[in-house]
Copies of this chain bind each other. A is one copy, B any other.
Amino acid sequence: MTDDAVGLDDVVAAADRIRDHIHRTPVMTSAGLDRLSGASLFFKCENLQRTGVFKARGACNAVFGLPEEGIVNGVATHSSGNHAQALSYAARRREIEAIVVMPRDAPQCKKAAVIGYGGRIVECAPGNTSRERMLAQVVEESGAHVVHPYDDHRVIAGQGTCVLELLDQCVKLDAIIAPVGGGGLVSGACAVVAALSPEIAVYGAEPAQADDAHRSLRQGRIVRNENPGTIADGLRVNLMALTWRHVSRYVRDILLVEEAQIIRSMYLVWQRMKLVIEPSSAVPVAAVLAHRDRFRGKRVGIVLTGGNLDFDALPPSLPGGDG
């Protein structure tokens, strides 16, 4: 990696900075899923991470990397999902304020989670434009420091610590598959693997219903999702300039999976591994099952990114979950 891409040094520094605030999550295996995939799978369990998702890593790195004079007015972001919780958590650990701009119609359970981590919610009308406008207004009034959910060096370096741990926990991986939404996690993976183990192929996995990274890689430029309809709510966002730089240079391929495969894979992990994962986490599992020929006999690291979901709105399980 060159230019202003995130480097191994940044990730190592992040690991040191966030050590007291995150879990070193376990890597689990499953004889049943190995049989189904024909590969040896190593699951990095970020669903067991603080706040239930890997995003605690990037948020903590950004918040704890700020100089004293940068934090007096707190931090702010707009997010209706996991980054909002993660930033609220990181801010509370540093005893500063987190302000989260959330659409008025965001699920009550997500708002409750942010409040539970001590974040302050500022509501806005639904839609990206009004979110961004409200965040600008909040920043102007409060002087808070904005932490973007993924297109940010500090966040990418923080997410990379997850793959740094994985390489320490598993030897001789042939491939790593991470889900791709905005690309923060896979960018962090690229930074680590390029420097430490370039023989490992880094793959992104994406819902076919939100295939911006897949199309971007093929067209050689950032292409956006028009109206992503996927159940994997963490993956509806688009690559941006910084994450695209990492993805375009280093990711081997972006593997697509269908919605039914995502749902089946989610319940398969619940059933076989007894781990609650959210739909976004099931996307790389679905990818390794849908692309068996590519991974047969290989040692594959899979990041189970998170486990936050609403048990009142579960999709029906589908027949054929074992296949």
Contacts and interface: CB of A to CB of B under 8 A. Distances in A.
Interface string A254-286: 000000000000010011011111000000000
A169 interface: no
Contact of A311 (B52, B267, B273): B267
Interface residues of A, number: 19
A270 B26 contact: no
A128 B316 CA distance: 33
Contact of A276 (B26, B270, B314): B270
A274 B314 contact: no
Contact of A274 (B267, B307, B312): B307
Nearest to A48: B274
Interface in A145-198: none
A267 B28 CA distance: 22
A313 to B, nearest CB: 10
Nearest to A266: B311
B317 A311 contact: yes
A307 B52 CA distance: 19
A230 interface: no
A263 to B, nearest CB: 11
A270 B311 contact: yes
B307 A312 contact: no
The 8 closest A-B pairs by CB, nearest first: A274-B307, A274-B276, A47-B274, A311-B317, A270-B276, A267-B311, A312-B317, A48-B274
Interface of A: 26, 28, 47-48, 52, 267, 270-271, 273-277, 307, 311-312, 314, 316-317
